[in-house]
Structure formats: structure tokens, C-alpha cells
């Protein structure tokens, strides 16, 4: 195997690789700005300098030449090389800042140049705390600047598009944002204008940066030049805690990180997952914070003579249990949903099969033509395939109305599907049935339901979701409910404020905790209320039962989902065959 020596240590590598990427893959550090593993390599920031050399080969003998001490003779490139664009070759010798004074000097000088016109406004900059420029200047930069002149001023607060704001003074012209629109989103909306110290990225005159993936440029901008209009000035990075999760706003289910502060979701950013979304996500998915934060159903609601009245959990349970006692199993319509997790849907189905209603249904929410074959799917729900794999009966959007008005059903149980808001049925047609709605947010269905049960969102529980390609991922709790506590639940992450804030601080409160429980837990409680044998203590029991009883999910566990960044349920069998 080919070998490479980095700072006197020997490493082996296979296939073509760039030196910088190889260094990063080893968990070593080398500062850089413009390089991005999923974009082309312009080598324009010059921050990734290394000394590089190759062993001298004697062309006649085909052997490496050695000096008196028997060491290979190394011929170094005459100048520092940019590691990002340098191909690793067999026997290559690399010196980074760890062993080379020249490289240390190079890194310092490059940073001094980059900072000449940089405003150094970190205290008011959103990027501070997660800014490669800030971090690398601390680590590798010069102590001060020798530049005594007035800095070049450039446009500030340019609204590039509806979701992205540019501060041209902070830009270091790495061109990552431009390359993103050229190579990934392919909208070609950005370009660098002007030259020398005056340049910065903008759109062509008269056009807007309205790319449906525009906010990704904010993520990859190595400085605070591009900021999200929405998240701007809302929270400092170190105040938030981040939790791995997935995008629930469409069927692709991009891997994301959910950032919370005081149990409010402040922002959602993509998490690298080569199997689904690489480093990217659609802008629309970042809006999901509104679903998590706003207009939530908290505490059960009862509909008493057309008025919604808050009720106790016991009262709600009793009301539902009473109703279920009076109807025949065949008179219950069980409606699961691609918006609910695999676990919730499974327990819903199982609970009603215990009661005698074996078949659960669901109505996929697929809007043909809204997808783009990239990260936006026609499918609007994150778990449509989950319902399919659980054996739920797929109803056509126009057939549910018929089902209900046929008079077959007296009671309908709806899990997280806004059937009224989606215009699948009118409230008039629902007026003859008793409807229980389990949902996260107030909507037309919840307002009309006889009983509304608040359930947890994807980021308040552990739940699995199967995306359009059949890949199952799971979410983790990021936001506390009234009944969960991040100090006790070890799966919840703790940010600085979560650690050190107390009830007596004005930045920590209980007001953002919603009074809701996971849907599966609700059915367990309902079973108790109705004196049925039906028990799950924890969501892990549910997923392991599913993996043992449902062939689609065989071998699935949270550990595997975490370690393998989701599991492909569709090609799983094929993969296993290949292995054998």
C-alpha cells in the first residue's frame, strides 16, 4: 500500500486522495478555509500551506536514492504547497505547522493578509463561536497586524435574497458560496464581483438569491459574511445545545442538528450524512422550528358543545375509554400517519388490534411535481414508507371522505394527520362521528375533534422515520416537555445554559415546555384505563418488538441507526446477500 509521512509519522493510504483531506481523515488538524469536501477545489485562501516533498528515484535502478545515513533523499517543492489541492503520492513527505517553522510562518502571514480588511467585529457577529476564521486566528494567527491604514469598506447588510444577508466586509472571498450555487444547487445565482480588495459575492443585477437551498451557503461560509435573515442575532452559538435529528418537513428526511435554547428551537442545520443529504438541506426544512415552537397543543382539549375546553389527562382518557366501550371494533376507523413515528404508528395499530380492529389506514400526503429529485421530495411527510412497512392500508386522498360518510364508522382515531386542513374531508362530514385527534399543533382537525390529545414532536421523543428511499433514521429528544428532564434523560444534550442556568435566572424558564406525551405512551395509558393487557415501558421495547416481528425492520436498532447514519430497509436484503 502507498505510504505517506506526515510530521515524521508514517500513514498508509489507498487510491487518489488530496493531502488535506487525508490529514483531516486521520483526525489531524490543518487550518483551511476555501476547501470543502463536496465542492471543487480552487485553492484560493492559501491557508492550508504545507511543506511537501517526494523521494528521489534513480531512474536507472528504479530505486529510491539514499544518503550516507541510509535515509531516503527527499526533494521538496521549492515553495509551500496548498494541501487541499495536492495529490498524495507514494512516499510523499509532508511537514505541517507541527514540524515546520516555515509553515507556521506561512499560516501566520496568510492570516495577517486575510485580516487586513476584515472588520474584526466578532462581538456582534453571529458566526462568533463557530467561526473558522476566529478559531484559526486564535490558533495560528499573528499577534497583531502591521497594517496601519484605513480598512477598505464594502457594502453591509445586503439582502441577497429572502433568506440570506451579506456583510461584504467580513467576506474572505473563499468562493464556497458561489461554488455551492454552481455545483450543488445548480442555480448559478451567485458570483464574485469586482477584484482585489473590493470583491465580494452577489447575484446578477435585478435577480434575487432565492435558491431553495440558499441557507446552506450560510452554513459553509467560513466567516460571518453570510447570515440567515431568520436566525440573525437570535442566539449566540454557545448558548444553544445541539441534538442530532432529521428533517420532518418532507419525505427525504435530511439528517439535521436541532439547536435549542431554553427549550425553544433556535435553528436547524444539516448534519453530514453521505447516504441522504451529504452536507445540505432545503431551506424549507429549517422552518420546522416553527412547528416545534409555535402553536403547540398543550394539555388535552375536549370539545363541549362546540367549545374547546382544556381538560385533565384523566378526564380525556375517561372520555375516550367510554366512547370506545360503546362502539364495535369494526365501527372504529384508525388513521395513522406519515407524520408520526414508526413506533407511534405501530403502537396505534397494535392497540386497536387488541381491541379487535385489525386494520389501520393512512392517507399519504404526496404532492406530485413539488419535488426536485434532490433533497425536496413530492412526499410531504417524513414517514410515509414507515406506514407502508407497518402494513397500514394506503387510502387515496379522495377515498377517506367516502369511507367516513358511508356511515360504517362511529369513532375515528387520527394520529397527527390534519385531515380537515388538507381538505380530505369537511367538518360537516365529520359531525356524525366521534373524533379523537392526537396531534402536535393546533390546526383545523384539532379544533374540530371531540378530544384532542397533545403528543410529542419528533424532537421531544425518540422516534424512527423511514424516508422516501427506505432509509430509517431516528430522532432524539432535544426539547423538554413538562414530563422530561434533560438532567435525567442521558439522551438529551446539555448546552452551557442548560448546565449552569437555574430557575432563578431570567434566561431559563419552564414556559417553553409543552404538556404532551408520546402517542405510544398515551395508548398504554388508555389501555390501563380500559383494563386491557397492553404495556410498553419505553420506546426501545417497541422498536425491538418491531424488529423481531416485522420483516421490513428485521435487525433494526437505535444503536445501528446511530452508528450507520440510518439503515437502508429497502436494499438491506440485497446488501446482506452481497455480503454472503
Which residues here bind other proteins, judged by CB under 8 A? 181, 188-196, 203-207
C-alpha distance from residue 544 to each of 180, 346, 386, 482, 559 (Å): 41, 12, 15, 27, 11
Nearer to ligand FES, 173 or 357 (CB): 173
C-alpha distance from residue 409 to each of 43, 405, 423, 444 (Å): 66, 8, 19, 21
- Select from other proteins, ligand FES, ligand SF4, none the partner in contact with residue 84, using the beta carbon and a kind-dependent cut-off of 5 to 8 Å: ligand FES
For residue 82, the minimal CB distance to ligand FES (Å) is 4
For residue 504, the minimal CB distance to ligand SF4 (Å) is 40
Residues in the chain: 580
Distance between CA atoms of residues 165 and 227, nearest Å: 5
Site string for ligand SF4, 250-269 (x = CB under 6 A): --------------------
Nearer to other proteins, 58 or 194 (CB): 194
SS3 245: strand
**Residue 44 grid cell:** 484560493
Nearer to ligand FES, 106 or 224 (CB): 106
Nearer to other proteins, 131 or 177 (CB): 177
Identify the residue whose cell numbers are 392497540: 351
SS3 338: coil
Q: In the Cβ-directed half-sphere of 447, how many Cα atoms lie within 13 Å?
A: 8
Nearer to other proteins, 194 or 489 (CB): 194
- The answer to whether the CB of 331 falls within 8 A of the CB of 411 is yes
Residue (of 103, 50, 127, 40) closest to 81 by Cα position: 50
Of residues 193-232, which lie at the interface with ligand SF4 (CB under 6 A)? 201, 221-223, 225-226
Residue (of 109, 225, 107) closest to 173 by Cα position: 225
Nearer to ligand FES, 46 or 461 (CB): 46
Binder among 118, 154, 176, 361 for ligand SF4 (CB under 6 A):
176
C-alpha distance from residue 324 to each of 413, 434, 526 (Å): 10, 10, 10
Catalog residues that contact ligand FES under the rule CB under 6 A.
32-35, 43-48, 82, 84
Binder among 6, 23, 74, 174 for ligand SF4 (CB under 6 A):
174
C-alpha distance from residue 522 to each of 169, 238, 432 (Å): 54, 36, 25
Of residues 272-301, which lie at the interface with ligand SF4 (CB under 6 A)? none
User: Does residue 173 belong to the site contacting ligand SF4 (CB under 6 A)?
Assistant: yes
For residue 120, the minimal CB distance to ligand FES (Å) is 21
Distance between CA atoms of residues 246 and 332, nearest Å: 32
**Residue 287 grid cell:** 422552518
Distance between CA atoms of residues 168 and 510, nearest Å: 40
- Select from other proteins, ligand SF4, ligand FES, none the partner in contact with residue 171, using the beta carbon and a kind-dependent cut-off of 5 to 8 Å: ligand SF4
C-alpha distance from residue 80 to each of 28, 108, 285, 295 (Å): 19, 13, 42, 57
124 alpha carbon, distance to own chain's centre: 26
For residue 189, the minimal CB distance to ligand SF4 (Å) is 12
For residue 270, the minimal CB distance to ligand SF4 (Å) is 16
- Select from other proteins, ligand FES, ligand SF4, none the partner in contact with residue 47, using the beta carbon and a kind-dependent cut-off of 5 to 8 Å: ligand FES
Nearer to ligand SF4, 172 or 375 (CB): 172
Binder among 52, 80, 83, 172 for ligand SF4 (CB under 6 A):
172
**Residue 41 grid cell:** 477545489
- Select from other proteins, ligand SF4, ligand FES, none the partner in contact with residue 35, using the beta carbon and a kind-dependent cut-off of 5 to 8 Å: ligand FES
419 alpha carbon, distance to own chain's centre: 27
Nearer to ligand FES, 111 or 543 (CB): 111
User: Does residue 171 belong to the site contacting ligand SF4 (CB under 6 A)?
Assistant: yes
For residue 158, the minimal CB distance to ligand SF4 (Å) is 11
- Select from other proteins, ligand SF4, ligand FES, none the partner in contact with residue 193, using the beta carbon and a kind-dependent cut-off of 5 to 8 Å: other proteins
- Interface with ligand SF4 (CB under 6 A): 171-177, 201, 221-223, 225-226
Amino acid at each position: 500500500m502507498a505510504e505517506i509521512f506526515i510530521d515524521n509519522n508514517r500513514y498508509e493510504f489507498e487510491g487518489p486522495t488530496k493531502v488535506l483531506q487525508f490529514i483531516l481523515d486521520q483526525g489531524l488538524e490543518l487550518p483551511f478555509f476555501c476547501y470543502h469536501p463536496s465542492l471543487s477545489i480552487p485553492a484560493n485562501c492559501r491557508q492550508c500551506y504545507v511543506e511537501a516533498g517526494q523521494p528521489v528515484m534513480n531512474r536507472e535502478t528504479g530505486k529510491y536514492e539514499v544518503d550516507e545515513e541510509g535515509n531516503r533523499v527527499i526533494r521538496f517543492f521549492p515553495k509551500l504547497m496548498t494541501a487541499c489541492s495536492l495529490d498524495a503520492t507514494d512516499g510523499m513527505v509532508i511537514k505541517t505547522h507541527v514540524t515546520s517553522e516555515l509553515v507556521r510562518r506561512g499560516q501566520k502571514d496568510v492570516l495577517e493578509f486575510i485580516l487586513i480588511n476584515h472588520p474584526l467585529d466578532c462581538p456582534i457577529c453571529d458566526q462568533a463561536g463557530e467561526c473558522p476564521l476566529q478559531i484559526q486566528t486564535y490558533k495560528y494567527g499573528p499577534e497583531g497586524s502591521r497594517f496601519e491604514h484605513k480598512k477598505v469598506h464594502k457594502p453591509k447588510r445586503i439582502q441577497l435574497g429572502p433568506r440570506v444577508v451579506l456583510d461584504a466586509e467580513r467576506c474572505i472571498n473563499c468562493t464556497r458560496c458561489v461554488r455551492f450555487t454552481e455545483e450543488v444547487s445548480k442555480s448559478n445565482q451567485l458570483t464574485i464581483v469586482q477584484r482585489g480588495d473590493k470583491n465580494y459575492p452577489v447575484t446578477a443585477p435585478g435577480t434575487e438569491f432565492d435558491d431553495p437551498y440558499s441557507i446552506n451557503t450560510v452554513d459553509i461560509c467560513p466567516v460571518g459574511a453570510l447570515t440567515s435573515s431568520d436566525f440573525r442575532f437570535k442566539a449566540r452559538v454557545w448558548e444553544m445545545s445541539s441534538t442530532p435529528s432529521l428533517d420532518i418537513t418532507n419525505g427525504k428526511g435530511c439528517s439535521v442538528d436541532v439547536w435549542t435554547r431554553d427549550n425553544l428551537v433556535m435553528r436547524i442545520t444539516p448534519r453530514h450524512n453521505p447516504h441522504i443529504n451529504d452536507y445540505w438541506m432545503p431551506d424549507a426544512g429549517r422552518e420546522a422550528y416553527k412547528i416545534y415552537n409555535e402553536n403547540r397543543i398543550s394539555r388535552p382539549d375536549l370539545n363541549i358543545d362546540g367549545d374547546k375546553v382544556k381538560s385533565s389527562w384523566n378526564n380525556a382518557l375517561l372520555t375516550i375509554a367510554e366512547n370506545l366501550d360503546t362502539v364495535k371494533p369494526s365501527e372504529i376507523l384508525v388513521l395513522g400517519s406519515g407524520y408520526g413515528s414508526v413506533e407511534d404508528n405501530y403502537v396505534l395499530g397494535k392497540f386497536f388490534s387488541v381491541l379487535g380492529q385489525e386494520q389501520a389506514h393512512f392517507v399519504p400526503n404526496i404532492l406530485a411535481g413539488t419535488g426536485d429529485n434532490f433533497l425536496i421530495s413530492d412526499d410531504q411527510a417524513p414517514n410515509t414508507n414507515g406506514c407502508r412497512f407497518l402494513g397500514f392500508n394506503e387510502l387515496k386522498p379522495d377515498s377517506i371522505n367516502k369511507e367516513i360518510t358511508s356511515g360504517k364508522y362511529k369513532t375515528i382515531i387520527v394520529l397527527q394527520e390534519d385531515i380537515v386542513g388538507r381538505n380530505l374531508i369537511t367538518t360537516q362530514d365529520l359531525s356524525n362521528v366521534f373524533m379523537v385527534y392526537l396531534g402536535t399543533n393546533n390546526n383545523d382537525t384539532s379544533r374540530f375533534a371531540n378530544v384532542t390529545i397533545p403528543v410529542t414532536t419528533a424532537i421531544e421523543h425518540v422516534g424512527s422515520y423511514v424516508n422516501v428511499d427506505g432509509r430509517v433514521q431516528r430522532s432524539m429528544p432535544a426539547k423538554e416537555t413538562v414530563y422530561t428532564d434533560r438532567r435525567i434523560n442521558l439522551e438529551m444534550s446539555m448546552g452551557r445554559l442548560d448546565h449552569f442556568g437555574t430557575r432563578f435566572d431570567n434566561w431559563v424558564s419552564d414556559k417553553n415546555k409543552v404538556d404532551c406525551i408520546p402517542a405510544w405512551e398515551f395508548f398504554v395509558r388508555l389501555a390501563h384505563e380500559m383494563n386491557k393487557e397492553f404495556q410498553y415501558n419505553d420506546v426501545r421495547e417497541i422498536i425491538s418488538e418491531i424488529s423481531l416481528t416485522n420483516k421490513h425492520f428485521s435487525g433494526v436498532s437505535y444503536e445501528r441507526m446511530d452508528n450507520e447514519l440510518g439503515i437502508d430497509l429497502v436494499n438491506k436484503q440485497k446488501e446482506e446477500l452481497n455480503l454472503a
